[in-house]
Amino acid sequence: MRETLTISHIGGQGDGVARTERGPVFAPLTLPGEVIRAEVRDGRAEAVEIVTPSPDRIAPVSPQYGDCGGCSLQHWASTPYLDWKREQVRAALAREGIETEVEATVATPPGSRRRLALHARRGPDGRAILGFKARKSWRLVQVNACPVADPRIVAAIPALARVAEAFLEHPKSAPTLHVTWTLDGLDVDVTGVERRSGGLSADARMRAITAAAQADLARLSQAGETLVMARRPRVAFGPAIVPLPAGGFLQAVPQAETAMVERAVEAVRGAGKIADLFCGAGTFTFPLATAAPVLAADASAEGIAALKAGIGAARGLKPITAQARDLFRRPLSPYDLKGCDAVVFDPPRAGAAEQTAQIAQTKAQVVVGVSCNPTTFARDARILIDAGFRLERATPVDQFLWSAHVELVGVFRR
């Protein structure tokens, strides 16, 4: 039986939410104020028909819209969409009893994603196809165009599909190609290959290497192990050119990275020494080192090695000390951070409660938190605030365009 529902707001995962006597009903691809008709099963609306569309509804630009699970909010006008992301940050802070200025969301343009995770499966003709998972499903939606991605990655999809062929050798393999556009071309790291059977055969490995050469990949690796490298992939962090580790972390959108780095550097200006924690290969380290000496730490030995390689090639920097250390198991203590009057930390989605507790005990006067999860950011912010810091401002950044994900930068001062 179909029901008529009115969407009250957008939930944290990007679905519209209708309030009913039985509880909330989540309706994908809807907007606040819209009246819909749908089948309701287990709190989810299916086979949704828009009866009264919102005036903020716009025409989607992706040919896969509605099927691909990547863009849940492509049908929403820019202003209310960006305001919603700002509200996600404000609400997460409010749940921890934190009030501060939440700035307008920093927008990023279409065609700017330099990193994509493309899933590979065999198509009806037996050849590899690449795409994204369908909404709430393991089914693959083939992608030949993507308005979010850098056009150079989109143009390479046919060649990347030929590379993927070799990694489908075992029927239990479900390869994912982690594709990154670098200064030296495409860097591809493949995960999801069946290993219990012995991994890739010598023949499949050679076919992968041949396809990589035909696609002019800078590097092809499998789970961080280089299979072939024509050119060492490099990225620019401030004044430094850094070799990117195979399978290493990199911010997905250069414009988002720039916005976050600029705010971090401005916040710590005047510091005598800066700690950069969860530093990766140096996204923030090198720009920070234009202002003051930097102590950098990250669990990735490969990332720290890349950072050190970048130090030797950069000019005009203050001294950088870098160490590989698991900051979850062995967070830097106030003794380790002695002399650092500013701290920047950019942890994974889980946040960094243990490391934040150590930062709170230092003599640092300013702390910059960078996060891809407003909920864990707010939890860590509460630790700093309880120790005498004030959250001066928070800035949402729309790094993952048309998705429900929100990045943010927060500046704390004692």
Pairing of strands 35-41, 2-10: antiparallel
Nearest residue to 353 (alpha-carbon basis) of 334, 327, 372, 388: 327
- pLDDT, residue 287, reads 98
Please give the Cα distance from 246 to 305 (Å, whole number).
12
Report the SS3 class of residue 62.
coil
- Label residues 179-217 b or e (16+ Cβ within 10 Å = b): bbbbebbbbbbbbbbbeeeebbeeebbebbbebbeebeb
Say if residues 5 and 14 touch (Cβ distance below 8 Å).
no
Question: Is pLDDT at 195 greater than 90 in this prediction?
Answer: no
Q: Is the pLDDT of residue 18 over 80?
A: yes
E-only strand ranges, 230-305: 234-237, 240-243, 274-277, 294-298
User: Residue 52: exposed, middle, or buried by beta-carbon count in 10 A (0-12, 13-18, 19+)?
Assistant: exposed
Classify 169 as helix, strand or coil.
Answer: coil
CA distance 305 to 1: 60
| pLDDT surpassing 90 at residue 198 | no
Mean pLDDT of 125-143: 90
pLDDT surpasses 90 at 197: no
Per the listing, tokens 């202002």 go with 291
Residue 71 is a catalytic residue: no
Catalytic residue among 68, 146, 340, 372: 372
- What is the maximal distance between C-alpha atoms in the chain? 69
Q: What average pLDDT does range 121-130 have in this prediction?
A: 92
Is residue 199 scored above 90 in pLDDT? no
Residues 6 or more apart from 55 whose CB is under 8 A from it?
Answer: none
pLDDT classification of 235: cutoffs 50, 70, 90: very high
Question: How crowded is residue 101: how many other Cβ atoms within 10 Å of its Cβ?
Answer: 11
Q: What would the mean pLDDT of 95-106 be, rounded to a whole number?
A: 98
Q: Quick one: pLDDT at residue 146?
A: 95
Q: Return the residue matching tokens 């401005």.
A: 266
pLDDT for position 26: 97
- Own/partner long-range contacts of 133-137 (Cβ < 8 Å, ≥24 apart): 133/69, 134/67, 134/68, 134/69, 135/28, 135/67, 135/68, 135/69, 135/72, 136/28, 136/69, 137/69
Compute the Cα dihedral for 121, 127, 132, 136 and give only its sign: negative
Contact partners, residue 329, CB within 8 Å, separation at least 6: none
* E strand or H helix at 407: strand 407-413
Calculate the average pLDDT of the chain: 96
Distance CA 340, CA 273 (A): 5
Band of pLDDT at residue 136, cut at 50, 70 and 90:
confident
Looking at residue 217, its pLDDT comes to: 98
The tens digit of pLDDT for each residue in 147-186 reads 999 999 999 999 999 999 999 998 888 999 999 999 999 9
Q: Which candidate, 176, 162, 167, 142, places its Cα nearest to that of 215?
A: 162
- 273: tokens are 């020494």
Q: Give pLDDT, residue 69.
A: 86
Reported as a single tens digit per residue, the pLDDT across 318-344 is 999 999 999 999 999 999 999 999 999
Task: Provide mean pLDDT across the span 10-38.
Answer: 96
